């Protein structure tokens, strides 16, 4: 990242604080400075598994840039998509498990190159008492992730596969901010825990209804 003369480093640091403030607008300035000081910034390429089921968790993960998908793994190797994590969010599981250094119940995969801030577990807990804005962020993270999982329960408990597929596509396009889903039918099937043929059939029906246009490795959402 460029040369390392003092002015540049200072500038980078300044920019970092500015960007943290932008991504986490509710964090106090002291908290941001503390995060700067104690957290470690790391990059991961798309495809990286950030956390595996059964692994012990040593850090709380704040998303600065990029996207992560959170999966629940089945015994047979299924990878059921639960939700996305985006900049400004944090992994609730990593917070919850961190507090007791428990095993992860989920799998986290990078789907768009990410920059994350890793916070060591002792600090995560310590800051709860010291920084009101951290406390509120953690509680809000619990709340919103819990709600998201409840929505997942809704989908699989009350809805049929065609509705779940529509929801899946909509959420994908919301997450990437575009109307093209660049995934193969097989990938979608895996994340919905169904088979490729079922996804192909349902997509074809959606195309006939005028909801999508199907291309190779791409689904365009029309409505």
Binding residues for DNA (CB under 7 A): 160-162, 184-186, 193-198, 200-201, 203-204, 214, 216-218
Least Cα distance to 185 among 219, 220, 222, 223 occurs for: 219
Place of tokens 């039918």: 185
Q: Report the partner that residue 150 touches, choosing among a second copy, DNA, none (CB closer than 5 to 8 A by kind).
A: a second copy
Instruction: Confirm or reject binding of residue 56 to a second copy (CB under 8 A).
Output: no
Q: Give the distance from CA 133 to its chain's centroid.
A: 21
| CA–CA separation, 38 and 66 (whole Å) | 22
Q: Report the partner that residue 162 touches, choosing among a second copy, DNA, none (CB closer than 5 to 8 A by kind).
A: DNA
Beta-strand pair 218-221/212-215: antiparallel
| CA–CA separation, 223 and 205 (whole Å) | 15
Q: Report the partner that residue 140 touches, choosing among DNA, a second copy, none (CB closer than 5 to 8 A by kind).
A: a second copy
Tell the smallest beta-carbon distance from residue 50 to a second copy (Å).
18
Interface pick for a second copy out of 92, 121, 165, 189 (rule CB under 8 A): 92
Q: Report the partner that residue 6 touches, choosing among DNA, a second copy, none (CB closer than 5 to 8 A by kind).
A: none
Interface pick for a second copy out of 157, 160, 208, 210 (rule CB under 8 A): 157
Tell the smallest beta-carbon distance from residue 221 to a second copy (Å).
23
Least Cα distance to 67 among 108, 104, 107, 121 occurs for: 108
Q: Are 118 and 43 in contact (CB under 8 A)?
A: no
Q: Give the distance from CA 184 to its chain's centroid.
A: 20
Q: Which residue stretch of 9-17, 31-39, 114-122, 143-151 sits at the interface with a second copy (rule: CB under 8 A)?
A: 143-151
Instruction: Confirm or reject binding of residue 147 to a second copy (CB under 8 A).
Output: yes
């Amino acid at each position: 990242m460029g040369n390392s003369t003092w002015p540049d480093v200072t500038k980078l640091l300044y920019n970092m604080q500015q960007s943290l403030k932008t991504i986490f607008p509710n964090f106090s300035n002291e908290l941001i400075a503390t995060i700067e000081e104690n957290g470690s910034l790391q990059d991961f390429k798309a495809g990286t598994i950030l956390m595996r089921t059964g692994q012990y968790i040593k850090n709380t993960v704040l998303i600065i840039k990029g996207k992560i998908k959170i999966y629940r793994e089945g015994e047979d190797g299924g990878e059921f998509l639960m939700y996305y994590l985006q900049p400004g969010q944090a992994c609730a599981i990593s917070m919850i498990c961190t507090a007791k250094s428990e095993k992860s119940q989920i799998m986290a995969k990078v789907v768009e190159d990410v920059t994350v801030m890793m916070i060591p577990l002792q600090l995560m807990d310590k800051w709860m008492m010291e920084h009101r804005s951290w406390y509120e962020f953690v509680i809000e993270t619990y709340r919103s992730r819990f709600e998201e999982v409840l929505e997942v329960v809704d989908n699989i408990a009350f809805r049929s596969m065609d509705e779940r597929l529509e929801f899946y596509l909509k959420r994908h396009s919301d997450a990437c901010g575009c109307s093209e889903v660049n995934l193969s039918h097989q990938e979608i099937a895996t994340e919905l825990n169904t088979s490729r043929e079922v996804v192909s059939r349902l997509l074809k029906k959606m195309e006939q209804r005028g909801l999508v246009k199907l291309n190779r490795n791409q689904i365009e959402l029309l409505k």
